[in-house]
Chains A and B, each alone.
Chain A
Amino acid sequence: DIAETCFEYLNMELVQYFFSTATTEAANYKLEKLGIRVGQKLAERYTKDRPRFNEKIDIIKFICKDFWIELFKKQIDNLRTNHKGVYVLTDSKFRWIVRLSTDTNQNTKTEAEKYVVFPCGIIKGALESLGVQCVVKAEIGTFPACSFTIKIS
């Protein structure tokens, strides 16, 4: 394992690079793509020694618990579903945005929005490598809370 600061600063460079070299739309697209690749590989590693999942809900629970702990050192705080393939995972203190701060709350939120795209990709990539095709979107609630909405397709 390595120091968290190293990752934090690498993540900052990653986000800065894309948002300074591409339009917001293109940056979001690229960051998500990058996240997908990372998420696929991480999920492969974390699931190789466990039995296959039977139900989709077990996969979602795996993401909320084990996967989240590996990456963010805590579990998802709240999981809601409409029982029609939409799952909302809320992390009340999302670790990758906690330390961001700018002059105003609005600006901090805008800045934080850049930092939740890559994790959306990671979740999507992880789910896809476990056989669940989906769309993942993030929404920052009351900073630093973040909700990830997974729509299974």
Chain B
Amino acid sequence: MNRNQNLQKLGEQAYNKIEKINGELFTLTYGAIVCQLIKELDSLDEVNNQLDKMGYNIGLRLIDEFLARSNLGRCRDIKETAEVITKVGFKMFFGVTANVANFNPKKQSFLIQLEDNPLIDFVELPPQYKDKLSYSNLLCGVIRGALEMVQMKVVCTIKKCPLKGDEITEIKVKLIEILTTEIPVGDE
């Protein structure tokens, strides 16, 4: 078995073992949050930011469970990180498989392609939101938050979304820098 197949298997095993919850509850709750934010905030940009922020906070916490359950060591490079996020991360937490595409070693960027996006079931976007609302921005935040905890600062953006008429969901991830761990003064 090659490494990717191994990762896939690891993702499946982790998903089988993890405590699960009704997916509809999650999707509907998320949908209600998005609606509420649209009502409360002044612009769709602010809604996108807030969704990203919520995702970021979730990612900061989720990484602990990910590391504990996957038992994977540090990734060698961003390419490996991409495979681990898609094959293990998405499978473990959302039960869906994702693919890596357009890996660009020079720009240190890649695309995550999702055929099943757990956030968008039963959702229809009114036309006035189609251009500007990044409905699945929570996922961008989750990835950004989780990677920051393993010292990778990234920028994530939704590139494609079925709610806007695309076939799949596509998230672009670009590495900005590898953070160095600073040990606080007085800590050993």
| A-B pairs with beta carbons under 8 A, tally | 90
> A37 contacts B19, CB within 8 Å?
no
**Which one of A9, A34, A42 has the greatest number of beta carbons of chain B within 10 Å?**
A9
A45 to B57, CA, bound (A): 30
With known contacts A3-B21, A4-B18, A34-B33, A10–B61 Cβ distance under 8 A: no
The interface residues of chain A lying within 8 Å CB-to-CB of B18 are 3-5
Q: Does B149 contact A (CB under 8 A)?
A: no
Chain A: minimal CB distance from B163 (Å): 18
The answer to the question of B103 belonging to the interface, with a C-beta cut-off of 8 Å to chain A, is no
**Complex CA–CA separation, A38 to B21 (angstroms):** 15
In the assembled complex, the CB of A17 is this many whole angstroms from the nearest CB of chain B, namely: 7
Contact call A1/B62, Cβ cutoff below 8 A? no
Q: Report the Cα distance A117→B18, complex, angstroms.
A: 27
Q: How far is the CA of A42 from the CA of B23 in the complex (A)?
A: 11
Q: Contact between A1 and B58 (Cβ–Cβ < 8 Å)?
A: no
Contact of B54 among A4, A7, A10 (CB under 8 A): A10
Give the Cβ gap from A5 to chain B, nearest Cβ, in Å. 5
Contact A17 B23 (CB under 8 A): no
Q: How far is the CA of A141 from the CA of B152 in the complex (A)?
A: 44
Residues of B near A2 (CB, < 8 A) are 20-21, 23, 26, 93-95, 118
Task: State whether A10 touches B28 (Cβ < 8 A).
Answer: no
* Chain A residues positioned under 8 Å from B23 (CB to CB): 1-2
Check A3/B92 contact, CB under 8 A, given A9-B62, A70-B22: yes
Report the bound CA distance from A41 to B25 in whole Å.
Answer: 9
A33-60 contact mask (Cβ, 8 Å, vs B): 1 or 0: 0100110011001000000000000000
CA distance A10 to B32 in the complex (A): 12
Q: Which residues of A pack against B, CB within 8 Å?
A: 1-7, 9-14, 16-17, 21, 30, 34, 37-38, 41-42, 45, 70-71
The 9 A-B residue pairs with the shortest CB-CB distance, nearest first, are A13-B54, A4-B21, A9-B58, A1-B20, A3-B93, A4-B19, A34-B32, A38-B28, A3-B18
Instruction: Given A21-B40, A38-B28, A70-B25, output 18 extra A-B contacts at Cβ < 8 Å.
Output: A2-B21, A2-B23, A2-B26, A3-B92, A3-B93, A5-B18, A7-B21, A9-B61, A10-B58, A13-B54, A14-B33, A37-B32, A37-B35, A38-B32, A41-B28, A42-B24, A42-B28, A71-B22
